Amino acid sequence: MNRLILRFITASAWVCGFFCPIAKLTAQTRAQDLVGTWALVSITLERDGKKTDFYGLDPQGQATYGANGRLSVIITRSDLPQFVSKNRELGTPEENKAVVQGSIAYFGTYSVNETAKTITIHIESCTFPNWNGIDRKVSFNISGNELHIASPTSSTGTGSNQQVWKRAE
């Protein structure tokens, strides 16, 4: 009987010794899974109980997370108007409004809290200047080649947004 207990304890220690480091390694590589370039699939803005495709049904965008902790993000509507003047400094008020409301870009640094499944983004500069120098904390989940980001706030000042990205090929 004592031999049976000893074998059970030995086997349990071996199994735990084998699988526990793998679980820890998987958690440690989560931040590394974020590194790379991601293409935007969708952004859904939710405010006052209503969901809208804030950047249209076919938003365009790219997010790059570097192994060095730097990131850059650009998001645009696919239906932004071309400027009649063919000069970005001479846009009409309507053209300028469409571009400002239909795009956002920023760069800075990021850090990942693997336990909380959050990314803290320190925005150094943004096309929406109110975000310059701020930290934004978002929740994230990576499933296969998809990155899901949930942000409790949006650049509109109200509502939250859900973003879906796919790893760029």
Same domain, 144 and 123: yes
pTM: 0.80
Reported as a single tens digit per residue, the pLDDT across 90-116 is: 999 999 999 999 999 999 999 999 999
Q: Is the pLDDT of residue 6 over 70?
A: no
Q: What is the CATH number of the domain that holds 81?
A: 2.40.128.280
79 versus 17: the higher-pLDDT residue is 79
Q: Which residue has the higher pLDDT, 68 or 19?
A: 68
Backbone angles phi, psi at 63, to 5 degrees: -125, 135
pLDDT at 29 over 70: no
The boundaries of the domain holding residue 94 are 35-167
Residue 79 and residue 14 share a domain: no
Rg of the chain taking only CA atoms, in angstroms: 22
CB of 111 closer than 8 Å to CB of 118 = no
Q: With beta carbons less than 8 A apart as the criterion, state whether 119 and 111 touch.
A: yes
**40 and 14 share a domain?**
no
* CA 119 to chain CA centroid, nearest Å: 8
Across the range 116-129, mean pLDDT stands at 97
| Residue at 20: amino acid letter | C
Whether residue 111 sits in one domain with residue 60: yes
Cα separation of the two ends of the chain:
59
